Structure 1
Amino acid sequence: MTGRRPPAWRVALSLFTAIPAGVDGELDDETAARSIMWLPWVGLLVGGIGACVLLGTGLGGESSAKRLLEAALAVAAIAAATGGLHLDGLADTADGLGSRRPAADALAIMRRSDIGPMGVAALVLTLLVQVTALAAVPRAPLAAAALVLAEVTGRVSVVAATSSPAARPGGFGALVAGRTTGADRAFTAGVLVVTVAAACVTAGGPALAARGLAATVAGLAAGRLLQRIAERRLGGMTGDVFGAILQVSATTVLVVAALAD
């Protein structure tokens, strides 16, 4: 960027949501590295949007169809707030990894503008699981909290995945991959775990804390697993892979939250 750099939080809003943030110009390495550390806060924001939809529409009613509709509206609100950015990354990553081709060919597939059958399947199944898992959490406050936790954990998984190198030059992945420190990543994950434990103990005691921590750890582990697969198959991270890690991690949190109830 030329001239004075905008605040990192505004850059993060501009990059990772559809919310106007008044940021123009090219993104340099330093600005991108600073903005990635704001990702969990972006997750708190968009998760809060989804939670407001849940609470506003009254999740927890007796009708299963109504609960599914309310959950779908919340998931749709988050997709709208992020411009579908991470869902697109999920679809492209599924196409690339699902092709079972060498890294160069898989990366070329991921750069195409169209979505193949693996990408469509990944999108449909992921959204289906997210909606049904969210609807399966019976109490509205817990469902709202699970959604916020899923969005934040997904983005902490992305911060953790910046430990990997970039799979190719150029693109957003090359700007942030390998550019955070181990201390930054450990601090981000540690704050998440401590915050979840404290909030759950305050709200519902040790039993709720155990459930919240189980969902958090499972989400981080799922993100780490996809990170390792991308390292082995593609040689590192791309912007699409970061989006896929976010979605896989967030979905895992919702599934564990639903099953643990």
Structure 2
Amino acid sequence: MKKGTSHIVLKAEQLSIGYKTKKNETVITSNIDFELKKGELIGLVGANGIGKSTLLRTLIKVQPRLSGHIILNENDLNEISNIELAKQLSIVLTEPLISKNLSVFELVTLGRQPYTNWIGNLTEEDYTVVNNALSLVNITNLKNKKCYELSDGQLQKVMIARALAQDTNVIVLDEPTTHLDMYHKAYILKLLKKLTKETGKTILFSSHEIDLAIQLCDTMIVMNSTEVICDKPFHLISEGVFESLFPKDLIAFDNSTGSFRIIK
């Protein structure tokens, strides 16, 4: 291990992402390089259709990379077994729940599956981890409610608690603020920020809420039509990176306020 790299938990090296069939290979983006540090909140942003979900699916080993390397906790992602991966990386996706008849507590306990025996019996330690996850997300009062009784915002917090119960050092969320109003968008992202500080976990999320991400993230990954750039928000602002995200006929990025504005 190289000196000074122990705090890097997820790394992409000359990564190329896209789709491959027997006859063709479609490259979405190539030459992706970034290093994500322990205990940071990282926002992945870019225009619709730019490839954010493809990058996330590749990073969580759902979709194969075209070339390059993904290093998780100093090991190549391809060399990590699925059961070991579940102990190192947890995910919160936007797909609807298979069953909303589960109680909040039952759903959060599913995060312990990588550690339970084949019967799925929970130990005292498992119950402690689950209850701690509920407490961290501030939903202990909801533990006995059925998931179908919850609002979208409450359900998203339950899914985050399940990821926390999985007790991985990296959590990846695909657009966690979808379907939420502005208040709850800010609430969820601020919660993620709080969790990085309280747990030391690295949390990577994709989002269209670029203004909020700029305010809350330690690091951002910005995808545009030609490249993927990873840096601190204030560096990205000073380098004019956000100005290249969208066509300039309707909205523009204001460097002085760090936000987008409509061109009148």
Q: TM-score range by the shorter chain?
A: under 0.3
> TM-score when scaled to structure 1?
0.23
Q: Name the one with the larger strand percent.
A: 2
> TM-score when scaled to structure 2?
0.23
Larger Rg over CA atoms: 2
Q: Name the one with the larger helix percent.
A: 1
